[in-house]
A = this chain, B = another copy of it.
């Protein structure tokens, strides 16, 4: 199947066409086929876009097209240097997909004109690869995630090959640097293959790329050390590079086929050495060699727009025209402006086109999860709050059944914390994927499995994004504080969803579900570094229609929330739940009703008789709910005449006005819960500001007093943690006394008793090294 010279000639023509279309997008707003001499008026007023990476991306694309056709491959293309947006658009147009998806940009001269004009133009398309780009599951903005996305796409897709172009700049990022080790997590039997192509063009924006400037023996050693067999293709003579690239791709795909055959048919079990290609070609290859006497091709000056003053400088204009004509557009496009017939035949057909492959529009392939009834896992609660359970352990039982029912469609990712987060029941039915050496002392490690654990939140997130965007389902469980490690990745995914939801041709995908456990209030043992509930603050900055935050107060509400999240589409759901033994407040039926409402008055814990309380105790999160209920208990005993209402919030977005979030509630409903004018003492899981931010527009907001985490903590006991942050039951009672008008004067002695109790408990803890039984053993007594 090696490529003939004729074939290579055609490939070169196709490549020239893609390069022409890439450069044309950056520069031209008219005269797309250069059928008249180039004039300043044909040039866009603002020249935006990245030329430097485009020729290399185009080279890979056209060569991959050949092997797709030759081998009838199911292949998608992940473009790490996604700033090469012109390349992705050019290829989608060349193979006809672009015009199918966007009929207003047909495959003819007018369409080419529109294609050029719209690029990086107001009202047009972005300069980077984006959700708008057919064939992409990978946005080109923030760098570093291409290879993790590629592996995520390959998992459980045994027939798929994911070609992943890794930029040499991107390769310097941390997430990318560790992504190479995905070789230890891919199963040649049940997963597809990833073919990484490291594009070493030598320069980033203004600096040399590190990997382009180490000796070739080091470069080889590095990738051999990551588990690959690298083949280097290098040069600046197109004909030679075409020959070498074709041979390298044939070799790599033969090797992938051999590896998969050995594993699938011959029972081979060792970890294979996967092929990869290192492509060394000049940055901005085939563009201007020099501009204004300075070298451009092959240097950092080719990164964006090599000729910057085309409208103003006749010499630049002439250079641009010569450059564009060097591709011989008259040979590449027919009279109507369509790609010449010989070129059109080079593109794969239908869904085999990388720009049309359904894996890159994963919602098209999405099968809903087969979800077992979560009620079967309900914790029995005969009396409110008197049963104890570890919420995530209960969830683990449910997830075990989800895994059983969805053996090829669902994965759980986590940075070495699935057991620590007490989801261990899943290991009754599955294992952790690990293709490294396995030893007798290991537990639940296997060549394939539904659980993926690697000590990299970046990899967990990147793999899961790739998995979801190709139409599957999953859950990322992680320590709450360290979710911030993927803040930036979350941002990008939320942006992707915001845009893709607006594209009718992009089918909805499963939501990205976070389970944040080992949360701030129970990081008493690991201390201050592990205490940060601020990920939800980051989440709240994204488009409301995309994000959801849930704080189930117990095991039963967690089950209900989890079921809801796993059914949802195109969201990011953040669920915060504890793993320690804690009261289960609500029987399952009530838990479901509470979660459907997302917020509600707990009448059974209130003493206002359903109306006109003196004070509202609100709470969100498991530990704040516990302290609030304990405070309600204290108030019943100490101030029996005080009418107290307890409100619990599961769905944080309900606090917003309806105009600001789809889950938002009207002011009238808000007032019916929180009252228009009574003090509200709100015990909150996270940073207290967040509640004010959600509720600042509410009538009565001035009466809202929020307790939450205020960056106080260390290695201590659980109750000391809440005391350090004034979230404890005794302080909540003091807050009530301080806030209910007229109360403070009458019951100063009770307030003092609370303060004394706190001092006594602090002293007890420091003496005994654990919390006093009176707080540890407290249960709701009514």
Contacts and interface: CB of A to CB of B under 8 A. Distances in A.
How many subunits of this chain does the assembly comprise? 2
Closest 3 CB pairs of A and B: A141-B529, A222-B225, A174-B174
Interface stretch (A122-130, A152-160, A354-362, A555-563): A122-130
Nearest to A204: B416
A752 interface: no
A578 B538 CA distance: 23
Nearest to A223: B225
Interface stretch (A3-11, A374-382, A454-462, A734-742): A454-462
Interface stretch (A206-214, A393-401, A598-606, A620-628): A206-214
B441 A128 contact: no
A141 B491 CA distance: 24
A225 B227 contact: no
Given A128-B715, A177-B178, A222-B224, 16 more contacts: A48-B715, A122-B769, A130-B529, A142-B529, A172-B181, A173-B455, A174-B177, A174-B178, A204-B416, A214-B437, A222-B225, A484-B487, A485-B488, A491-B532, A689-B693, A696-B701
A495 B534 CA distance: 13
A241 interface: no
A120 interface: yes
Contacts of A207: 416, 432, 434, 445, 453-455
A317 B306 CA distance: 73
A482 B46 contact: no
A711 B208 contact: no
Contact of A770 (B46, B420, B543): B46
A261 to B, nearest CB: 23
B711 A416 contact: no
A417 interface: yes
Given A416-B204, A418-B206, A540 B689 contact: yes
16 contacts: A45-B768, A46-B770, A83-B526, A126-B528, A127-B715, A128-B526, A142-B485, A143-B455, A184-B213, A214-B437, A221-B225, A484-B487, A485-B488, A491-B532, A532-B541, A543-B711
Q: Looking at A143, A170, A218, A717, which has the most chain B CB atoms within 10 Å of its CB?
A: A218
A361 to B, nearest CB: 19
B174 A717 contact: no
A430 interface: no
A217 to B, nearest CB: 8
A482 B142 contact: yes
Interface in A726-782: 762, 765-766, 768-770
Nearest to A181: B210
A215 B224 CA distance: 11
Nearest to A420: B205
Contacts of A491: 481, 484, 532, 534
A508 interface: no
A460 B179 CA distance: 20
B766 A442 contact: no
A641 interface: no
A46 B437 CA distance: 35
A174 B128 contact: no
A419 interface: yes
Interface in A5-61: 29, 44-46, 48
